[in-house]
Amino acid sequence: MCGICGIVTLDAPPEIETVRAMTDALAHRGPDGDGFFSDVGVALGHRRLSIIDLSHAGDQPFAHQETGLQLIHNGEIYNYRELRVELEAKGHRFHSATDTEVVLAAYLEWGEACVSRFNGMWAFAIWDPRHRRLFASRDRFGVKPFYYRYTDGRLTFASELKAFRADAAHGPLRANASIVRDYIELDRFDHTTETFFAGIEQLPPAHSLTVDHRGLTLTRYWSLERRDPPAGDPIELVRELFFDAVRLRLRADVRVGTALSGGIDSSAVACTVDHLLRTEAANARPVGERQATFTAYFDVPGYDERPYAHAVVDRTMASPSWVSFSDNDLVSVLPSIVESHDEPFRSTSICAGWFVMRAAREAGVTVVLDGQGGDEVFAGYPAYLPARLRDVLGRGNVSLLAREIKEQAAVFGVGHAGRVLARTVTPARLENYLRARRSGSSDLVGNALRDVATHDERVHSPFPDHLRTLMTRVLTVRGLPELLHAEDRNSMAHSLEARVPFLDYRLVELAYSLDGRDLVHGAFTKRAIRSALKDVLPASVAARTDKLGFATPEAVWFRGALGSFANDVFASSAFADRGFVDPATARARLTAHRNGSVEAGFELWRALNTELWARAFLDGERR
């Protein structure tokens, strides 16, 4: 895990000093060393966090002596050992034990198509002097970031947006007004290739980028497609692939721990690690004698998942760390968290992840496994219940529809089941509009954004059913991208690598080939993973039907120290002059929430976070 950056302007002098400054901005991503390469037309920078082969043989940029290729790599290729054996059979020789050298050999052997052979998370760039070409790529789901700006034949790229502050060629960073409005009004972000900064984009997941004398070209190398259901028992296949996904992500030469919320996904990871520790000790060596787990909790009714996390700890004999913080604690570190993330984010639940990652690093862990992606891959969100019913209704299977509604009523209550049924026949566009109106988000839009257009959500789904179409939307546009953004920034802020087994592409392809009833059935989401791991998970966790989603008591905090802090921000002249948020509306809604006359949602956080982000990145930039 590392930080990468570079500038390519073909046939021009290398901008090595600018790249050095950009690399300094990424120091937290790689505290174990830095490295640089420059030649006519290109300058590359790297910060290293040593994970595999801790020797200097893994330093980057990584050079291929015969061809002059230069590679900077952020991430891990988990199947590097298997690829290395294949490449050695083809005559390649290796001088390190790194996955980085395997990437370079794979590029030499298979060219740009090499990425289709990788199982992992990555953002890398290869300078090929033979063709005066830069080739860059990002993993299938965008676990690792890659940002770039391309203007008049000049490419600037980096792992984080803050590095672009060091590039004086374009002046201070400027806000992308349409993205800011999307966030404030529609609660959307990371839903397009655009960022909160004008002119800077992100390389889409599952894409590669090439810059040469013909210009810049983007190429998609993988897509989620319709596949035939698997032959044999699909649940057993899910089990085998999930075990292997975790097994591969335990490969490291440093200590590995687990983020444990108590939900099904993180519990599945922790319990599988324990299973491997007991049955395949050699493969689980980086875990140590006892698995280290890290759990956030809050002594607020409805926000404490410790009973479920305790069930996992007791079953696995893990060595747990319990992490909590108050609204006063949050206010004191908010500037650091905002700086870490580069862009505004959805809610204070993201801040909980920041505290968990800090605790893991302080405990001596360098790699953390997390359950991120489980809801998106195996249909874990409540919104998937009406999507499943819509498919059943569309097939005219009235008796099955009645049974599923009855099962939901038995678990959630008649009122909840009725609301699910209502959502089954409500158009998504109307539902989104009504949600924005109910939350008051539309009224929060300030004068500076009133005439700015928002983005439509365009989702291509190859699937004919409502369930997998919605799953695709959440996986690629509305949900997972923003969560992965937060996962990367929270972990890397503390020089920590986060790995997500649920996003092994083999497991994703399998999950999206399953029948709807294997994903959602009655009141139960994630049926396949529950069934596959029923002998591994504690019974209380496997049977959970509630969904907290790593929630924090945000509403409570806005009636305490966080609310007082927000009140000061909303009353400031800088907030009013900025014009992103209507100050009178923000103050009125905060006051109504604090006196209990309304229960404000995430919109108060978005108003506050927007201003904190603007102060950090748009006002008096630090270079």
Q: What is the DSSP letter of 197?
A: B
Nearest-5° angle of CA 123, CA 35, CA 498?
A: 40
Rounded to 5 degrees, φ, ψ at 34 are: -135, 165
> Six-digit token pair at 412?
């959630």
Closest CA to 48 of 15, 23, 84: 23
Task: Determine how many CB atoms are found less than 10 A away from the CB of residue 55.
Answer: 11
Distance between CA atoms of residues 383 and 314, nearest Å: 32
Nearest one of 589, 556, 583, 551 to 570, comparing CA atoms: 583
The CA distances from residue 566 to 189, 204, 333, 512, in Å, are 22, 34, 14, 42
Instruction: Give the Cα separation of 569 and 586 in Å (integer).
Output: 10
Residue from 290, 344, 318 nearest 609 by CA = 344
Torsion of CA 348, 349, 350, 351, to 10 degrees: 60
Catalytic site residue from 2, 5, 114, 351: 2
Could you tell me the two tokens for 349? 């639940």
Under 8 Å between Cβ of 342 and 161: yes
Helices (H), 10-127: 16-24, 80-89, 99-110
| Residues paired with residue 323 on neighbouring β-strands, in sequence order | 296
Cα distances (angstroms) measured from residue 38 to each of 2, 68, 69, 403, 547: 19, 12, 12, 66, 50
Nearest to 586 by CA among 609, 554, 615, 614: 609
How far, rounded to the nearest angstrom, does the alpha carbon of residue 550 sit from its chain's CA centroid? 14
Provide the token pair at 369: 């496994």
Strand 62-63's sheet: what is its strand order?
A: 62-63, 70-77, 120-128, 133-138, 207-212, 215-220
Structure-token pair, residue 221: 């190398």
Alpha carbons 246 and 284: distance in angstroms, whole number: 10
Q: Which residues pair with 43 in a beta bridge?
A: 7, 38
Biggest CA pair distance of the chain: 72
Annotation marks residue 2 as catalytic: yes
Rounded to 10 deg, the angle between the 583-594 and 561-570 helix axes is 160
- Report how far residue 400's alpha carbon sits from residue 270's, in angstroms, rounded to the nearest whole number: 35
| Helix boundaries (H) for 342-477 | 349-362, 374-378, 384-394, 398-412, 414-424, 428-439, 441-444, 466-476
Judge contact between 448 and 580, C-beta under 8 A: yes
3-class DSSP state of 320 = strand
How distant, in Å, are the alpha carbons of 313, 333, 601 from that of 339?
Answer: 33, 10, 24
Work out the number of other CB atoms within 10 angstroms of the CB of residue 74.
30
Contact 421, 390 (CB under 8 A): no
**Catalytic annotation, residues:** 2
